[in-house]
Amino acid sequence: MTGRSVIVTGGSRGLGAGLVASFLASGDRVSSCSRSRTDNVDRWESDPDTKDRFLHRDVDLSDRDAVQTFVRDVVATYGRVDVLINNAGVAQEGVLATMGDAETDQVIDLNLRGTLAMTKAVVRRMFAQGDGGRIINISSVVGLSGYRGLAVYSATKAALDGMTRALARELGSRMITVNSIAPGYLATEMSHGLTAEELGQIVRRTPAGRLGQPEDVAAAAQFLASPEAGFVSGHVLVIDGGLSA
Ligand code: NAP
């Protein structure tokens, strides 16, 4: 079997689905997980071009045991893991002063604890393989700039960027690169929580004059996963149409 073995967490919809589509198009074997299935998943599982190199499992990433089982399953199916894209994430809007503990915990459990658990499981596998690897963390521009009503989410995204920098140092000698991609506002389900007025304001403040698309981010992920990016590590690559320039 040819192609890299790529894990995309939260590959069922939105940006994750765009990442899965991109790596399937480049001939890779792609494994994805999410709590529920979507038409995308059904299509990739049945399409003759992709069915033998696409794996999906229903996994709640805030469950550490389930994360380990998923990685074991990927290795049993494709033999190895070359690229991990930590994409799954959740946002709960609300000012911190009135935000419920359950909402706070949900965001931290997935965005931070789940991502750390997945990364740990994959890094251990990459150590055993001994020939390097790529880790790409999807953070967010709000981890850099902050956004009213997204304190917990912003904290988790800033934490991911911190993890990226620390792991780049920790894993560099093993030829494992670690980078973050910090997207601006994307036209996915996650931004459906924003009002038309907020979205209009974001588009007006964005020099490119539009929201981002999954393809904008997938192109950057392809670069970071490519052999040409082997000397690029510890970066936070902002993909936001110039919004934060
Ligand atoms: P989305 O459309 O809400 O998709 C999120 C994906 O994560 C889905 O596949 C979802 O599937 C999965 N997921 C959610 N909770 C999960 C859990 N507990 N366990 C496993 N999978 C889970 O979000 P998106 O807009 O594509 O965002 C993708 C990433 O980009 C996130 O990390 C987000 O923070 C980041 N980002 C988004 C934007 C934006 O404007 N949209 C901007 C900057 C950064 P299930 O719900 O079925 O589990």
131: burial class by Cβ within 10 Å (0-12, 13-18, 19+)? exposed
CA pair distance 6, 59, nearest whole angstrom: 17
Q: Which of 60, 125, 53, 122 is nearest to 85 (CA)?
A: 122
Catalytic residues: 153
What is the token pair recorded at 99?
């935000």
The residue count of the chain comes to: 245
Q: Tell whether ligand 1 has an atom less than 6 A from the beta carbon of residue 198.
A: no
What is the token pair recorded at 111?
């965005």
What is the token pair recorded at 108?
């931290």
CA pair distance 234, 89, nearest whole angstrom: 20
For 215, phi and psi rounded to 5 degrees?
-65, -35
pLDDT in single tens digits along all 245 residues of the chain: 569 999 999 999 999 999 999 999 999 999 999 999 999 999 999 999 999 999 999 999 999 999 999 999 999 999 999 999 999 999 999 999 999 999 999 999 999 999 999 999 999 999 999 999 999 999 999 999 999 999 999 999 999 999 999 999 999 999 999 999 999 999 988 888 788 898 999 999 999 999 999 999 999 999 999 999 999 999 999 999 999 99
Q: Tell whether ligand 1 has an atom less than 6 A from the beta carbon of residue 81.
A: no
- Ligand 1 mutation pick, 190, 215, 238, max ligand atoms within 8 A of CB: 190
The string of DSSP codes covering 11-74 is: TTSHHHHHHHHHHHHTT-EEEEEESS--HHHHHHHH-TTTGGGEEEEE--TT-HHHHHHHHHHH
- Residue 194 pLDDT: 84
Residue 231 CB coordination number (10 Å): 7
Q: Tell whether ligand 1 has an atom less than 6 A from the beta carbon of residue 16.
A: yes
Residue 173 Cα, ligand 1 centroid: separation in angstroms? Answer: 31
Q: Tell whether ligand 1 has an atom less than 6 A from the beta carbon of residue 212.
A: no
Decide if 87 contacts 138 (C-beta within 8 A): yes
CA pair distance 12, 58, nearest whole angstrom: 10
Which residue has a Cα nearest atom 27 of ligand 1? Answer: 15
- Residue 1 pLDDT: 55
- Residue 90 pLDDT: 97
Q: Which of 184, 180, 182 is nearest to 242 (CA)?
A: 184
